[in-house]
Amino acid sequence: MMNLEKMRIVTAILVLCIGFSTLAFDNNNSKAITNKDNDIEDKVREANILFKAGKVIEIAYATVEGGKNAQLNKEYFSKILPIAAKYEGKMLGSLQVTAVVDGEVVPQMIAIFEWPNIEARDKLLADKKAQKLFPTRDAILTSIKLAYFTVDEDVSVTFREDKTYEFFNAWLTPEAEKLLPKYFQKSENVKKKYGPPSFVASLKPLKGLPGADYLLQPHMAGIVEWNNTNAYYGLIADPEFKKVAPLLMKSLSRIDGIHAKFNFPQ
């Protein structure tokens, strides 16, 4: 039987086929949509985030010391974001992690930021007022990983409260170029049984950054919308999928997959 951990590789490849919450909503649109079924109305909240071409997207994967989320917002984010704004940096949104389906990164939350360029981020790091806040942040966070991306053209992503979003980072093998097209063709039908999962954003890793333990530098990354995490596990356990899984196993050397729900204002 195929190793379950290796089969979880599917998340990243699906993309190839095709709290922070209150602060974040200053820069994004949030609304509720209404579904009618048997005269029962269910309002589903949505939030739109625009990933802009020419900008740098920073994604932070963080774990907060128990019970200190409110402290992080009050003592760090409420103070650091106005300073970041001086350098045209802003928070786009955040998500609460609900499951880590694969990989080495195990955060509690995901935060998304936008910068005009990486130099603007560096200016914030060198800002004296900002530097006074970093010890507060470091005392509250127990772990953090950062990744930086761009997009080739503007991408608008609608986050729904009734969906789960997978943020993935993947590292490819030399065989990927040959094997992935075969996987795409052979796995298309089985994926339809589980949603199908929907690719909502392809993120291009920013090149030229210096190496650091806290920095993730994958070959590819993106965001996939699932109905729920059970659909993910159903897919990788499906006998039909298991037949094509070896193509994935030989295409990726590492995959980090994190499922999360968008943080809406309370």
- Residue 246 sits in a domain whose CATH number is 3.30.70.100
Euclidean distance between CA atoms 95 and 263, whole angstroms: 5
Using alpha carbons, list the distances in angstroms from residue 85 to 36, 81, 115, 179, 209. 41, 6, 9, 44, 23
DSSP string, 152-190: SS-EEEEEETTSEEEEEEEEE-TTHHHHHHHHHHHHHHH
pLDDT grade, residue 37 (50/70/90)?
A: low
How confident is the model at residue 180, as a pLDDT? 85
Please give the torsion angle defined by the CA atoms of residues 215, 63, 104 and 50, in that order, rounded to the nearest 10 degrees.
-60
How confident is the model at residue 146, as a pLDDT? 97
Q: What is the mean pLDDT of residues 176-184?
A: 91
| Count of the separate structural domains present in the chain | 1
Euclidean distance between CA atoms 229 and 235, whole angstroms: 10
SS3 146: strand
Q: Does residue 217 surpass a pLDDT of 70?
A: yes
Edge-first strand order for the sheet with 40-51 is 29-37, 40-51, 155-160
Residue 86: CA count within 13 A, CB half-sphere: 13
Residue 232 structure tokens = 């993910």
Domain range for 144: 4-262
Q: Does residue 76 surpass a pLDDT of 80?
A: yes
Sequence-ordered strand ranges (E) for the chain: 29-37, 40-51, 56-64, 90-102, 109-115, 141-150, 155-160, 164-172, 198-205, 220-226, 252-262
How confident is the model at residue 30, as a pLDDT? 62
| Most trustworthy range by pLDDT among 4-8, 33-37, 66-70, 163-167 | 163-167
Percentage of the chain exceeding pLDDT 70: 85
Q: What is the mean pLDDT of the chain?
A: 87
Q: What is the mean pLDDT of residues 120-140?
A: 96
**15-29 burial by CB neighbour count: b if 16+ within 10 A, else e?**
bbeebbbebbbeebe
pLDDT grade, residue 18 (50/70/90)?
A: very low
Euclidean distance between CA atoms 198 and 226, whole angstroms: 7
How confident is the model at residue 56, as a pLDDT? 98
User: Contact at 8 Å (CB) between 89 and 120?
Assistant: yes
How confident is the model at residue 179, as a pLDDT? 95
Judged by average pLDDT, the poorest of 38-47, 112-121, 148-157, 238-247 is: 38-47
Name the packing angle between helices 128-140 and 118-126 (round to 10°): 90
Q: Does residue 226 surpass a pLDDT of 90?
A: yes
How confident is the model at residue 113, as a pLDDT? 98
User: Contact at 8 Å (CB) between 167 and 109?
Assistant: no
How confident is the model over 250-266, as pLDDT tens digits?
Answer: 999 999 999 999 999 87
